[in-house]
Amino acid sequence: MARLTYVIPTMVAFFLCSAMAVDLRNLNDRTVPWYAQVIPPEPFRGFYGKIIQCMWKLDPICGKQVYARIFNPSTSVDDYCCRNITTVGVTCNRYLGWALSLFEKFKRYAGLIDRRSKIIFIDCIKRKL
């Protein structure tokens, strides 16, 4: 039972990195968003399990585009990724943004992450792909 407390956060880190197209071999690279980040505790029981389910649906290329768009509004999300994001669904979109904002490094951007991830999702729905 104690091992699960380490396995689930480790899996979440793996999936967050893969969703953002971050090469896990480069986690010691100071340029990756997750450098030196501690995996935060679950905000509620089963949260990381839900995140993992969501990440299986999200194409890593699309995760990278969304991440870039959240922090740099001049970037864009292409049509393929808009289809992928809307297929993943609104709940997963919210949970993935929430998971990112749980990291200490991103806590100060929680409002920005929430707002922009909603905007990205709505913009993709409006495209009617």
Confidence of residue 5 (pLDDT cuts 50, 70, 90): very low
Would you say residue 104 has pLDDT above 50?
Answer: yes
Indicate the number of domains in the chain.
1
E strand segments, the chain: none
Looking at per-residue pLDDT, the higher value among 4 and 44 belongs to 44
Residue 86 makes CB contacts below 8 A (sequence gap 6+) with 121, 124, 125, 129
Range of the structural domain that residue 112 is part of = 2-126
